[in-house]
């Protein structure tokens, strides 16, 4: 029996997030064969909306792992021009992952993964700048296990986070965006965290279901050299197939001068040494999705946890350009629920993971 929520998710992606219309060229890119039910619904909906052409492709993470472990230097450095040529014809890009094992790349050659990310960066940059794109996840047993849930529980959690009234959420986020736009100094205080930085002159950007599903954050970027202090992240983060816990970063004049994670110091610092920009921060964001409350080891969800912030080493976004450039963009999450304060200038915005500023009270979930 078909799960009607698959169709609902496809409708969010096609009708709201990317606004597929007559004459569009659409590329649906799926990772993992378990995503077939959603790919079928997306394909049908795009045709119904009048798309001129709909392309779909599947990648298999286990096969990609062979590339990183076995490819020669020449093979790693080859630029797939045909992929860029295709992307230049695409109007809408919809990506979905149905990964059944988040650790599939844990033993892959990290040096080659970093090198290849630099090689294909022009394709990603073109897609981000020139297409109407969205990225999502499809529930699998492996993802449910990572989230410490049954598949039924995980499906309920995923669809509740994705299939919400994004028009209403956008209106609520507008007030937080306006406060960000006016702010200069940001302060975050919590356990083993005392961080200050400026966001003066950098806009707040709403994430209201246009590019990620699930969505639910408002982000900006710090003035590149303004970050001072330290932060310890309390949410697990998986990067290049490796899990890091309790990452602690210390900053001076915007730069990460010390980085540690229990048992993973070398791997952590190797990533932060990818290029000069990897030790500076490209994004600061506040998570506001009312139906995402706990870490799932899936950054598309975890960065939207209500009552969290993420503070991201690496590449900034064009919409909020603080000048930082890097092949790395690593969203690391700090949950402030029950422990933490967020300040904009002299105003406390959030305490213990709940909005307390009078203009933001409607962002709090109804059950808090």
The pLDDT assigned to 368 comes to 61
Residue 366 φ/ψ, nearest 5 degrees: -65, -20
DSSP state of 316: P
Instruction: Using the predicted structure, report yes or no on whether residue 321 has a pLDDT greater than 80.
Output: yes
pLDDT band, residue 103 (cuts 50/70/90): confident
- Tens of pLDDT, residue by residue over 77-91, are 999 999 999 999 999
Which percentage of the chain shows pLDDT scores above 90?
A: 85
The HSE-up count of residue 272 (CA atoms within 13 Å, CB side) is 25
If one counts every other C-beta atom within 10 angstroms of the C-beta of residue 208, the result is: 24
Helix 36-48 and helix 4-11: axis angle, to 10°?
50
Instruction: Using the predicted structure, report yes or no on whether residue 17 has a pLDDT greater than 70.
Output: yes
| Nearest Cα residue to 24 out of 40, 57, 56, 46 | 46
- Tens of pLDDT, residue by residue over 217-239, are 999 999 999 999 999 999 999 89
Q: Mean pLDDT across the chain, nearest whole number?
A: 94
The pLDDT of 136-165, averaged and rounded, is 92
Sorted by where each starts, the structural domains of the chain and their CATH numbers stand as: 4-162 (3.40.1830.10), 166-363 (no CATH)
**Residue 201: exposure state from Cβ atoms within 10 A (0-12, 13-18, ≥19):** exposed
- Tens of pLDDT, residue by residue over 332-351, are 999 999 999 999 999 999 99
First to last CA, the chain: 35
- Give the bridge partners for 134, in sequence order: 94
Report the alpha-carbon distance of residue 336 to residue 191 in Å, rounded: 9
**In 3-state terms, what secondary structure has residue 114?**
helix
The pLDDT assigned to 333 comes to 97
Report the alpha-carbon distance of residue 306 to residue 294 in Å, rounded: 9
- Tens of pLDDT, residue by residue over 19-46, are 999 999 999 999 999 999 999 999 999 9
Instruction: Using the predicted structure, report yes or no on whether residue 105 has a pLDDT greater than 90.
Output: no
Contact 347, 333 (CB under 8 A): no
**Residue 362: exposure state from Cβ atoms within 10 A (0-12, 13-18, ≥19):** exposed
The pLDDT of 179-191, averaged and rounded, is 97
pTM: 0.81
Instruction: Using the predicted structure, report yes or no on whether residue 289 has a pLDDT greater than 90.
Output: yes
- What residue spans of the chain are helical by DSSP H? 4-11, 36-48, 61-70, 73-77, 81-87, 110-119, 121-130, 141-146, 151-162, 166-182, 265-272, 299-302
């Amino acid at each position: 029996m078909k799960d009607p929520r698959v169709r609902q998710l496809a409708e969010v992606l096609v009708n709201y997030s990317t606004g597929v219309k007559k004459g569009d060229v659409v590329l649906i890119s799926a990772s993992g064969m378990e995503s077939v039910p959603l790919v079928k619904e997306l394909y049908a909906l795009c045709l119904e909306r009048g798309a001129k052409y709909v392309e779909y492709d599947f990648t298999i993470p286990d096969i990609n792992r062979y590339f990183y472990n076995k490819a020669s230097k020449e093979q790693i450095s080859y630029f797939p021009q045909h992929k860029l040529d295709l992307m230049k014809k695409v109007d809408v890009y919809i990506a979905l992952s149905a990964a059944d094992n988040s650790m599939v790349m844990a033993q892959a050659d990290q040096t080659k993964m970093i090198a290849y990310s630099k090689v294909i960066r022009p394709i990603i940059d073109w897609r981000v700048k020139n297409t109407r794109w969205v990225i999502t996840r499809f529930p699998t047993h492996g993802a449910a296990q990572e989230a410490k849930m049954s598949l039924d529980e995980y499906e309920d959690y995923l669809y509740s986070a994705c299939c919400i009234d994004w028009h209403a959420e956008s209106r609520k986020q507008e007030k937080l965006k306006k406060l960000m736009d006016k702010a200069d100094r940001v302060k975050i205080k919590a356990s083993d965290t005392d961080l200050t930085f400026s966001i003066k002159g950098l806009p707040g950007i709403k994430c209201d279901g246009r590019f990620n599903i699930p969505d639910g954050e408002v982000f900006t970027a710090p003035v590149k050299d303004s970050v001072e202090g330290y932060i310890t992240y309390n949410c697990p983060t998986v990067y290049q197939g490796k899990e890091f816990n309790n990452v602690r970063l210390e900053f001076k004049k915007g730069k990460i001068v010390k980085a540690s994670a229990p048992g993973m110091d070398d791997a952590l610092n190797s990533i932060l040494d990818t290029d000069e920009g990897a030790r500076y921060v490209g994004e600061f964001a506040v998570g506001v999705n009312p139906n995402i409350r706990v870490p799932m080891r899936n950054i598309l969800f975890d960065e939207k946890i209500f009552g969290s912030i993420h503070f991201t080493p690496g590449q900034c976004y064009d919409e909020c350009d603080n000048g930082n450039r890097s092949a790395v963009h690593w969203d690391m999450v700090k949950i402030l629920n029950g422990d933490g304060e967020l300040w904009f200038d002299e105003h406390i915005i959030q305490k213990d993971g709940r909005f307390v500023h009078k203009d933001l009270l409607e962002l709090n979930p109804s059950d808090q």
